[in-house]
Amino acid sequence: MSFAQLVSNHAQTLAHAVKANATREYFAHWQESPSKKFYGETAADEGETAFKALLNMKFMNLSHTNGATDFQWHGEEESPYGFPLGVTYPQVPVETLITNAQAAQKQWQRLAPAERASVLIQTLEDAAKQFFTIAHATMHTSGQGFGMSFQASGAHSFDRALEAIAIGYSEQAQFVPEVTWKKPAGGGEVTVQKRFHVVPKGVGLVIGCSTFPIWNTLPGLYASLVTGNPVIVKPHPKAVLPIAIVVASIQATLKGLGLDANLVQLAADSSANPLSLVLAEHPAVNVIDFTGGAFGNVLEDVARKHGKSVFTEKAGVNGVIVESAQNLDAVLDNIAWTLTLYSGQMCTTSQNFFVNKNGVRDEATGTIVPLDEITKRLAAKIDALITNPKMGGGVAGGIQSEATHKRVQEARDVAAKSAILVRDSAPVPQAGFENARTASPLVVQTSAAQSDIYEHEWFGPVSFIIPTDGFEHSLQLLLRSLKAKGALTTLVYTTNAAERDAAEEAIIFEGKAPVAFNYVGGVYVNQSSAFSDFHGAGANPAGNASFADASFVTSRFNVIGAREVA
């Protein structure tokens, strides 16, 4: 297929995505439901079969191995649902990856922005045919329930990739590539032929995480690709398979279009011999994307020292103010779901709840509900969700790492020594997986003075209720946390318009974090929508990147001109 045909085939998709980025209205290119209506009668069974066929085998689908088996092979993935995957991956030498990437860039950077965008949309369309396989791989590396795995690693992450493509295309296509420039000069004119070239920064590196191996990888991957950069994907060694499937699919599409498949490569490593810093410090790597914890600070230092572009999402402490509510019961339902979804293992999950110690006004009943009753009702809401036989296990999922599982016991010990245990954690039954590693939400009540406990990230199913002297005190504590630790989400419940305005002004302009208000029903603070919500702010200590504003793309290329007197 010619590039001109590709551009024509995907012109409407690209136009819709560009428009959605501008209007911020609802737009989704892929269906988030795994329904047979959208994906066919046999897709689910075929996807599960394909996933099982990958287990206990060498992953041989990567183009940059050229079918060779003389690499060292390594794999250490274990399903949180209780069994080893047994998949091993080639450990390709770093210099081989770099050489491959640089060779692939020479061809890729010569394509026009519309051609690159169209090729990339085609890679997404082709990879989307494996949504069910990817979902099973995500489930059994991250611990997400199948439904969430399908959405997060399928439609939602692919929409985020399309979002990055659209922004990258718009930023590159806003000026003409060539112009005949004429300037009046005396009795005549000066004519200069000018050409403007989009020049990629160089090799891109995307360092993946274990909890969202695709959702947190695709935005940076496609932002670099659309701007002309080759990319090396370095997944978390405990969650390789989902993104390996995607990389292999991308390579197959590129090869089928006559392009160098090594434009995207997988750099599988091991926990014992990590490659992240080795790759990040390599002189040829000029763009770095990272999702994780404090290691992001190391990468930011590397970038500053060596003049690289780095985009980080690090640890943050997400806070909620509960002052008053139109319907407190609906609020508690919403919070219970937020805390239970994927057992709190989302970077956007709320951790700290600043609640008026004198109670919360419930407009639905016209009463002030005491703090003790609020905590009991919240615990009961979580219990009801967890024990629901139709949805409890699927919503909670499994615990991705043993470290997160141990963190629950650490929080329980803290509560026993110096706080109040509102709701204890317990295993969550998972049908068909008796050995699954699980933990339901643990809720602890501390005092406002115990910031040493609640003012750092307890990643996983751990949250804190902090009684305050009222709205102003709650806002003060939240802002202190935002400035010190940052956050990807904040949420405020109030029926007072003045309080809402004050919170929006302070949290956004002083705390430099996103804020949501009065979420109830099926809208949750730990979920964000491509083309509309900016994931993260890129302006507080939780990270310097936002999925996806213009700066997430424009720092990956330069525009350099050539001039010639006509």
* CB neighbour list of residue 299: distance below 8 Å, 6 or more residues apart: 207, 276, 280, 288, 290, 310, 312
pLDDT tens column, 59-88: 999 987 766 667 899 999 999 999 999 999
- Across the strands, what pairs with 283? none
pLDDT higher than 90, residue 422:
yes
pLDDT higher than 70, residue 29:
yes
Q: What are phi and psi of 161, to 5 degrees?
A: -65, -45
Q: Which CATH superfamily is domain 17-314 in?
A: Aldehyde Dehydrogenase; Chain A, domain 1 (3.40.605.10)
Under 8 Å between Cβ of 519 and 348: no
Rounded Cα distance between 362 and 370, Å, is 10
Say how far residue 32 (Cα) sits from the centre of its chain.
16
Share of the chain above pLDDT 70, in %: 99
Helix H or strand E segment including 354:
strand 352-356
Rounded Cα distance between 313 and 158, Å, is 19
pLDDT higher than 70, residue 236:
yes
pLDDT tens column, 93-148: 999 999 999 999 999 999 999 999 999 999 999 999 999 999 999 999 999 999 99
What pLDDT does 67 receive?
Answer: 61
Rounded Cα distance between 208 and 112, Å, is 29
Place of tokens 């390594």: 74
Q: Report, as an integer, the average pLDDT of 351-378.
A: 98
pLDDT tens column, 500-511: 999 999 999 999
What pLDDT does 68 receive?
Answer: 66
What pLDDT does 265 receive?
Answer: 98
pTM of the model: 0.96
pLDDT tens column, 153-179: 999 999 999 999 999 999 999 999 999
Under 8 Å between Cβ of 411 and 430: no
What pLDDT does 64 receive?
Answer: 77
Report residue 566's pLDDT band, with 50, 70 and 90 as the boundaries: confident
Q: Taking the domain 319-517, which CATH number applies?
A: 3.40.309.10
Report residue 384's pLDDT band, with 50, 70 and 90 as the boundaries: very high
What pLDDT does 70 receive?
Answer: 78
Q: Domain segments of the chain: what residues?
A: 17-314, 319-517
* CB neighbour list of residue 342: distance below 8 Å, 6 or more residues apart: 143, 144, 145, 148, 211, 349, 395, 396, 397
What pLDDT does 195 receive?
Answer: 96
Q: What are phi and psi of 105, to 5 degrees?
A: -65, -35
What pLDDT does 456 receive?
Answer: 93
Under 8 Å between Cβ of 240 and 75: yes
Strands 360-362 and 367-369: antiparallel
Give the Å distances, CA to CA, from 500 to 338, 472, 518, 540.
21, 11, 10, 21
Under 8 Å between Cβ of 155 and 213: no
pLDDT higher than 90, residue 186:
no
Q: Report, as an integer, the average pLDDT of 294-298.
A: 94
Q: Report, as an integer, the average pLDDT of 363-376.
A: 97
Rounded Cα distance between 134 and 149, Å, is 8
pLDDT tens column, 249-294: 999 999 999 999 999 999 999 999 999 999 999 999 999 999 999 9
pLDDT tens column, 4-23: 999 999 999 999 999 999 99
Asked if domains 17-314 and 319-517 share a fold, the reply is no
Rounded Cα distance between 438 and 426, Å, is 8
Q: Report, as an integer, the average pLDDT of 148-154.
A: 97
Helix H or strand E segment including 408:
helix 402-418
Mean residue pLDDT across the chain: 96
